[in-house]
Amino acid sequence: MFCIIDEIWSLRLSNGGSRCDGRVEVYDNGRWGRVQDSAWNINDSNVVCRELGCGSAIFAYNSSRYGESELPVWVNHVHCEGNESQLRNCSTFTLNQTSSDSIGVGVLCSDHLQLRLSGGGSTCAGRVEIYYNGSWGTVCDDSWDLDDANVVCGQLGCGYAVEDKIPGFCGRSKGQIWLDEVRCSGNESYLWNCPSAPWGRHDCSHKEDVTVKCSEHKEMRLVNGGRRCEGRVEVWYNGTWGTVCSEKLYREEAEVICKQLECGPLAYIEYRAWIYGQGSGPIWIDEMKCSSHESALWQCQFDPWGKHNCDHREDAGVSCKELRKKPPSTAVVVCTTLGILLIAEFVALVIIARRQSARRDAELRARGFGFYEAIYEEIDDTLPGNKFSQMDDSISGSIDSMNQIEYYTSDPLGCAHSTSELPEGTSSSVRDLVPDDHDDPESKAIDCPGGQFSTDGGADDLLMLTVAGGDVDIGGESSMIPCFQSLA
């Protein structure tokens, strides 16, 4: 309790989080009494905050926020303009009234400060957050060290700091960053008593939010069991992991363990380290006695931390049934959400990139690039290599469609010559078209590789000629045609 006292008048805010937050009470005639007013507003609250040196009023409350008081009613029907220096200077101010037609009042002032650790699994671990000026905000880690963390742990009654930053802590805060460049000596009672930049002035983001783990932070886990709800019982205390002695571990104690880990009902207890193995380090808990209604194992009765009369061969193990439910941890939820958002952002970028590419292609086609591509394709189709390929396809198609009589084969040199024999598989209809007295063109000379091909017959008698590597001399005339490489 904090108050302003003189011989006649005293004022305080009680049952709140600090001297600048709580139910309004006055001291008169040697006793504390309460203030009641059905029309209490922000102007009245501003006068109270100013009188107490607590800045300005953020909220005006009725007493339901802070609980009803059993004190007598000393003041009611208050009406302030808001610029008065003391509450007793307000008009229609009445003392020693026992009227019950109004309600108790409360005030939250801007200089009300609170400190907490959030998202770390207990009140003694997590992100450092300060309540100031009506909202929760964080602390930037510029210049932050173990001395600063020790002040936080001491202020919260959490012992001393074992880590000034929690490795792998996931989850960012929103809202204000209240403090930056904090430099504590380690002896301060409150974090805001340490030298720092002015409230709300900083040059960092929530990526640099401070986290702290204190010695009084406690955690539990099951290890070496193959799944989360089965294994050797281990407890984090005083900055290290230790085990639990199974000597007095009965069903009630094991059920508390399963409940604390948010697992299903107890399946069985392992009293020896045969299945889950022996632990190492301290044996933190021995001689337990639980009623099974506790929410955490350290709420049960047991010997002082670290005092025991067993060894690691008696390390306790527990098997609980799995229980499907939402994660126990705010940090897990935040990490999962951030991961999903990153994936969604990546997919959106891919979609945008594809749409932009399609839009560019459409613009190029609109500018005529599609027309030029068609021209390039037509030119490519008329190149010599392609022409011969098309010619070969055309000739083959003609043979099939017109039932050509003569069949040409290639000799080992790659030249083609005619034969009256038809290949196997030729239909009888084709054979019937060939007369028995049909004469093949008579070849007078074949000197294909680099030479000439002469014949007495006319060129009209040949249905197809394919030779390689020279010229062709047809008849007795000096008609010379190229001798092309066989395409067969």
Q: Is the pLDDT of residue 112 over 80?
A: yes
Task: State the average pLDDT over residues 276-291.
Answer: 92
In angstroms, the CA 50 to CA 82 distance is 10
* Residue count of the chain: 488
Task: State the average pLDDT over residues 301-319.
Answer: 93
Q: Could you tell me which residue, 441 or 317, shows the higher pLDDT?
A: 317
In angstroms, the CA 345 to CA 246 distance is 50
Residue ranges of E strands in 164-299 = 176-179, 211-214, 219-227, 230-237, 240-244, 266-270, 283-285
pTM, 2 dp? 0.55
The predicted-structure confidence for 12-29, as pLDDT tens digits, reads as follows 999 988 899 999 999 887
Pairing state between β 407-410 and 240-244: unpaired
Taking CA atoms, 433 is separated from 304, 403, 428, 436, 437, in Å, by 115, 8, 9, 9, 12
Task: State the average pLDDT over residues 326-343.
Answer: 76
Backbone angles phi, psi at 459, to 5 degrees: -65, -25
Name all domains of the chain by residue range, CATH numbers in brackets: 3-109 (3.10.250.10), 114-214 (3.10.250.10), 221-320 (3.10.250.10), 403-483 (no CATH)
Average pLDDT, the chain: 76
pLDDT at residue 361, as a whole number: 81
For residue 406, count other CB atoms closer than 10 A to its CB: 18
- CA nearest to 274, candidates 315, 244, 245: 315
Packing angle, helices 369-381 and 330-366, rounded to 10: 70
- Tell me which H or E stretch contains 349: helix 330-366
3-class DSSP assignment, residue 449: coil
Q: Which two tokens stand for residue 135?
A: 């909202």
pLDDT at residue 234, as a whole number: 96
3-class DSSP assignment, residue 177: strand
3-class DSSP assignment, residue 257: helix
CA 137 to chain CA mean position, Å: 22
Band of pLDDT at residue 466, cut at 50, 70 and 90: very low
In angstroms, the CA 391 to CA 184 distance is 92
pLDDT at residue 372, as a whole number: 52
Taking CA atoms, 75 is separated from 28, 51, 339, in Å, by 10, 16, 57
In angstroms, the CA 166 to CA 470 distance is 88
- CA nearest to 176, candidates 128, 247, 106, 125: 128
Residue ranges of E strands in 292-383 = 317-320
The predicted-structure confidence for 119-158, as pLDDT tens digits, reads as follows 888 899 999 999 988 889 999 988 899 999 999 999 999 9
3-class DSSP assignment, residue 301: strand
CA 207 to chain CA mean position, Å: 14
In sequence order, what are the beta bridge partners of 209?
140
Task: State the average pLDDT over residues 164-188.
Answer: 84
Out of 80-94, 98-112, 196-210, 258-272, the most confident range is 258-272
3-class DSSP assignment, residue 24: strand
